[in-house]
Structure 1
Amino acid sequence: MSGLTEQLEQQLITDASRPLMQDATKHWYTGKQLKTEKNIWKTYWKNKGIGNDDVVLLSLTNSVTYSLVTQSLWEIGAIVHTIDPQTTEIQISELEDHYNYSALVLNENIHDLKYLNMIFTNQPRLATLHEPEAQIFIRNKHIAHLSEEPEDDQLALIMHTSGTTGKPKRVGLTHQQILAGANNIIQTEKLTAEDKTLVIMPMFHINALVISNLATRLSHGQLLFREKFSAHNFWSDVSHEQITWISLTPAILAILLRRDEEPTDNKLRFLRTSSAPLLPSTHDKFDQRFNIPLVESYGMTEAAGQIAQNPLDHPIRNTVGTFENTDLQILDSQNRPLSTGQVGQIAIKGDSVIKNYLDPQPESFHDGYLLTGDLGSVDENKYLHIAGRSKEMIIRGGENVNPLTIENCLVDLKFIKEIAVVGIPDPIYGETVAAVIVPNIETKDHRHQIALLDELANEQLLPVERPTKYIFSDELPKNATKKVQRARLAEIVAQQLKEA
């Protein structure tokens, strides 16, 4: 067995009589119960001829089943491809044309699969504890593969990057890389068997699957699965279940700040935030209201989760922390290393970092380092500062404009619910700054709001940073982790202005 599958199995054996996982109905399962259920799935796959190097699509909501199905497939040498459970049949069909899946595991509420039913046979469902049953589809005329215990360097997981600045990339992670990523979290967050975490981020993303799920399991902690984030239930779950830490996003923090609920008698050691930049103003408001340690971090799918995180005992505001377990450099436009404090592209390599994409992209690597596309700098204390995505930077008249600086300035206006800043084409300056705003209250006349925006921008921003266009919208385009899709937003704004 690989180190990853061996340690996951050992958790279930060591904690046979201890409650380890709780489902959405708040039913707990012991290690023994989980091991039995996992083996039912493992035997099922073997009987269906699913085995070494078979690619299995997993499209489920967060659940105990999700964790066990993934483990069962890894133990027989299969490769798991996780996707959003909201993916349509047409989208799944497009993926199927590329991957030729041996099996599909889908939510029970997916019906009328006309195209897929011509390729796969819907199998009798397995009893999945107290949770909704998953639908299982096995490929017609599937060529049986033997079950083989995986090696550390064998491919285990396929994920697509979030694609916030362009087309998503296909990332393949090995057993060893996933284990290294989980161990990185265990070390930096000082996880032990005494820890409990609430899984509210989607499991088809690296954050929940590795950072919340696997790191907790490998440290023998307890997992509480929720299908999705619920602002109404969040603090009651934290207090009643005595949660010690949670991985979440700045978008979730912003939602919590807009509500009246408060935690009572909580045991939180910290909340970990990632997946998108945390605006300093949001951090300040959260600290003042809740007084719960908020730890900023930085990661990506290509690194099996985490790249850097603020040390729990010495976090530094407006940084994403240190990177002891990752070899990190800051490079200039010619891929030459920059000095302390200089801003350039972040390049990484290490045990958890991929060495290539599933689709050849040699331009994404240099001298063994993955070029992340993110801009940043490292200070004299070895803390990493993020300056933004290279593709998100607005080039106005030859000057770099960071949209995060503008957003952090304007977001404090009380009528703003959400704001995102993008660059739009300009015949003179190349690009100019547009601010897209989702207001708290809809109104047709925005003249007063624009006057307030202009007043604040003129007072606190450089001339090159001041928006030349304000656009009011009902929503911002986002991915499943609530990260704003800036490339898509820029396209929408440009098209709207063109048609105006």
Structure 2
Amino acid sequence: MSELTERLKQQLIAGSSRPLMQDAGQHWYTGSQLNLEENVWKNYWQNKGIGHNDIVLVALSNSVSYSIVIQSLWDIGAIVQPINPVSTEIQISELEDQYHYSAIILNENIKELSILKDTFTNQPRLTTLHESEVQIFIRNKHIAHLNETPDDDQLAVIMHTSGTTGKPKRVGLTHYQLLAGAFHVIDSELLTSHDSTFILMPMFHINALVISNLATCLSHGQLLFRPKFSAHLFWKEVSSEKITWVSLTPAIIAILLQRDEQPTDNNLRFLRTASAPLLPSTHEEFNRRFNVPLIESYGMTEAASQIAQNPLNKPLQNSVGLPVGTELKILGANYEEMAVGQVGEIAIKGESIITHYLDPQPEAFHDGWLLTGDLGSLDENGYLQISGRSKEMIIRGGENVNPLAVEDCLNVLKFVREMAVIGVPDKIYGETVTAVIVPNEISQDHRHQLALLNELANEQLLPVERPTKYIFSSQLPKNATGKIQRTLLAQEVTQ
């Protein structure tokens, strides 16, 4: 067994009589019940000839079954590829052409896909839990693979990067990298068996998979699965279920700030935020509204989740904290190491970080360091400040404009629900600074709002930073975790 699968198994045995996981219907399952379910799945895969190095596509909503299914696949040395459960038939077909899956697992309510009819056989559905059964498709003429105990270097998951600034890259993470990433979370968040958390973010995302799911399992805590975030239930359930911490995104933080509910009588030690930049103005408003520590962090799929996090006892606002189990440095254009306070590209390496992509991407590495594509700086105490993505920086007349700084300035206006600042091609200046705004209320006349935007920009922004164009929209393109897809937005605006 790999150390990851051994520890996950021991967690279920140690908690045999204790409730460890709760489904969306609020049914609790003990470690003994979960261990039985995991063995049922493991035996099922073995009987179907699924084993070592078989790639299995998993397209499920958040659930207890999700966690147990992937654990059973890791136990037999199979490789899990989690994807968005609302992926289209065309998207699944394109993936199948590339990977030739041994098995595909879909939600119960998904109609049988025509692309699967000739290649796969729909098997009897399987679960012993209170949750909905899942659909299982086994490849016809599948060459049976023996159940082979995985080692630490066995590939565990294939994931795609979020692709917010370009084409997604294929990331392969081993059992050991996932284990190391999860323990970095445990150590930085001081997680114990007394902790409990919601899984609200999608499980096909590295944040939920490692930070919420694996870190909680490996620290013997309690997991409560919810299909998605519910704004009107969040604070109520945090109180009633005695939740001690939750991993959220800035998009969810912004939604909580738009509502009147307040946290009451809760056991929260902290909320953590990652997956996208948290604007300083949003953080300040959260601190004013809610008496709950909000901890900023920084991570990526290629690092098996977390790279840096603010210490719980000494957080620094407008920073993503200190590196956790990761070597980190700031590099200049010629790969020279930048001095304290200077902005450059963030480079990382460590036991949880990939050393190569599944597709050749030699330009993403330098001398053993992964080049993240993120811009940042380190202060004299080693805290990391993020300046944005290198590909998102706007170059106007030869000068760099940080879109996050512009957004943070203008986002304080009360009529702004959300905003994204992007660069749009310009024949004279190279790019123009363009702000796309989703207002709280749709209007045909934006003259008053434009006056307020221009007044604030002229007052607080440098001339080169001031948007030359404002576009009002009903929504912004986002990925499944609520991260704004700026490249796509820029393409849409340009077209």
TM value normalised by structure 2: 0.99
CA contact (8 A) 2:248 2:272 kept: yes
Contact 1:65 / 1:128 at 8 angstroms: preserved in 2?
no
CA distance in 2, matches of 1:117, 1:264: 52
Report the equivalent of 2:106.
106
Secondary structure, aligned partner of 1:198: strand
1:312 aligned onto 2:312: yes
Show CA shifts across 1:365-424 (max 9, x none).
Answer: 000000000000111100001010000000011111000001011111111111000000
Deviation at 1:89, TM superposition (A): 1.3
Aligned-pair CA distance for 1:26: 0.4
Look up the match of 1:53: 53
After the TM superposition, which parts of structure 1 deviate over 2 Å for at least 4 consecutive aligned residues? Answer: none
- SS of the equivalent of 1:204 reads coil
Q: 2:332 corresponds to which residue?
A: 332
The answer on 1:44 being equivalent to 2:44 is yes
What is residue 401 of structure 1 aligned with on the other side?
Answer: 401
**CA separation in 1, counterparts of 2:331 and 2:12?**
44
Looking at structure 2, the residues matched to 338 and 399 of structure 1 have their Cα atoms a distance apart, in angstroms, of: 20
Amino acid at match of 2:440: N
Alignment match, 1:273 = 273
Q: Could you tell me whether the CA contact under 8 Å between 2:296 and 2:321 is conserved in 1?
A: yes
Partner of 1:341: 341
2:440 aligned residue: 440
**Equivalents in 2 of 1:333, 1:193: separation in Å?**
46
Contact 1:152–1:176 (Cα < 8 Å) also in 2: yes
CA deviation profile, 1:272-319 (whole Å, cap 9, x unmatched): 000000011110111111110000000000000000000000001110
Residue 427 of structure 1 corresponds to 427
**Aligned 8 A contact 1:55 1:103 in 2:** yes
Letter in 2 for 1:199: I
Is 1:120–1:140's contact at 8 Å kept on the other side of the alignment? yes
Contact persistence 2:378–2:385 (CA under 8 A): yes
Report matched runs for 1:82-101 at 5 Å. 82-101=82-101
**Structure 1 residue 72 corresponds to structure 2 residue 78:** no
What code does the residue aligned with 2:287 have? D
- Code of the residue aligned with 2:212 in structure 1: it is S
Residue 493, structure 1, aligned to residue 493, structure 2: yes
Structure 1 residue 113, shift from structure 2 partner = 1.0
Indicate whether 1:469 and 2:469 are aligned: yes
State the alpha-carbon separation in 1 of the partners of residues 426 and 406 from structure 2.
19
Please report how far the alpha carbon of residue 24 of structure 1 lies from its aligned counterpart in structure 2 after TM superposition. 0.2
Q: Secondary structure at the match of 1:374?
A: strand
1-structure distance, mates of 2:324, 2:478: 31
Shift of residue 118 of structure 1?
1.4
In structure 2, the CA distance between the partners of 1:439 and 1:205, relative to structure 1 (3 Å rule), is same
**Aligned residue in 2 for 1:127:** 127
SS at match of 1:228: coil
Give the superposition deviation at 1:112: 3.8
Is this contact kept in 2: 1:128–1:134, CA < 8 A?
no
Q: Tell me what 1:452 maps to.
A: 452
| 1:206-245 correspondence runs (5 A) | 206-245=206-245
Aligned to 2:416: 416
CA distance in 1, matches of 2:281, 2:207: 24
Q: Counterparts of 1:340 and 1:409 in 2: how far apart (Å)?
A: 25
Whole-angstrom CA distance in 2 between matches of 1:308 and 1:488: 28
Q: Which residue number corresponds to residue 136 of structure 1?
A: 136
AA partner of residue 151 (structure 1): D
Q: Is the 8 Å Cα contact of residues 184 and 324 (structure 2) preserved in structure 1? A: no
2:131 aligns to what SS in structure 1? coil
Partner of 1:63: 63
Q: Does 2:212 correspond to 1:194?
A: no
Taking the aligned partners of 2:131 and 2:210, their CA distance within structure 1 comes to: 22
Deviation readout 1:129-159 (Å, 9 max, x if unpaired): 0001110000010000001110101100010
Distance 1:222 1:420 in 2: 37
2:348 corresponds to which letter in structure 1? I
- Summarize the Cα distance change of 1:128–1:429 in structure 2 as closer, same or farther, 3 Å threshold: farther
Between the aligned partners of 1:297 and 1:441, the Cα distance in structure 2 is 32
> Which amino acid in structure 2 is aligned with residue 375 of structure 1?
L
CA-CA distance at 1:339 after TM superposition: 1.3
Letter of the 2:333 counterpart: S
Displacement, 1:446? 1.0
Give the SS at the match of 1:418: strand
Q: Secondary structure at the match of 1:115?
A: helix
Alpha-carbon offset, residue 127 of structure 1: 2.2
CA distance in 2 between partners of 1:112 and 1:320 (Å): 44
Tell me the residue number matched to 1:498: none
> What's the secondary structure of 1:125's corresponding residue?
strand
* 1:327 partner amino acid: E
Distance 1:97 1:140 in 2: 15
Between the aligned partners of 1:450 and 1:166, the Cα distance in structure 2 is 31
Q: Deviations over 1:449-489 (max 9, x none)?
A: 11110001000100000000000001000000000000000
Which digits, 9 at most, give the CA deviation of each residue in 1:417-454, with x for residues without a partner?
A: 11000000011110110000001111111111111100
Counterpart contact for 2:60–2:85, Cα < 8 Å: yes
User: Could you give the per-residue CA deviations for residues 322-349 of structure 1, whole angstroms, max 9, x where no partner exists?
Assistant: 0141011100011111111111000000
The residue type paired with residue 234 of structure 1 is F
Partner of 1:355: 355
Indicate the larger mover: 125-134 or 37-46.
Answer: 125-134
Match for 2:318: what amino acid?
N
Matching residue's letter, 1:460? Q
Write the distance in 2 (CA, Å) between the matches of 1:15 and 1:115.
42
Q: What secondary structure is seen at the aligned counterpart in 2 of 1:124?
A: strand
Displacement after TM superposition at 1:128 (Å): 4.0
Letter of the 1:459 counterpart: E
CA contact (8 A) 1:89 1:116 kept: no
Q: In structure 2, how many angstroms separate the alpha carbons of the residues matched to 1:379 and 1:290?
A: 28
1 CA distance for matches of 2:89 and 2:426?
40
Query: SS at the partner of 1:118?
Result: coil
The answer to whether residue 283 in structure 2 is matched with residue 283 in structure 1 is yes
**Distance in 2 between residues matched to 1:376 and 1:280, nearest whole Å:** 15
Equivalent residue, structure 1, for 2:154? 154
Q: Which amino acid aligns with 1:354?
A: I
Give the letter for the 2:314 counterpart.
H
Q: Could you tell me how far apart the structure 1 residues matched to 2:274 and 2:304 are?
A: 14
Tell me if the contact between 1:182 and 1:211 (Cα under 8 Å) persists in the aligned partners.
yes
Deviation at 1:261, TM superposition (A): 1.3
* 2:397 partner letter: G
List runs of 5+ in structure 2 lacking aligned partners: none
Instruction: Name the aligned partner's letter for residue 32 of structure 1.
Output: S
Q: Determine helix, strand or coil for the equivalent of 1:10.
A: helix
Structure 1: segments with no counterpart, 5+ residues? 496-500
| Structure 1 residue 239 displacement after superposition | 0.3
1:168 and 2:164 matched: no
Determine if contact 2:58/2:80 at 8 Å carries over to the other structure: yes
Which amino acid in the other structure matches residue 259 of structure 1?
A: R
Q: Please state whether the residue corresponding to 2:126 is helix, strand or coil.
A: coil
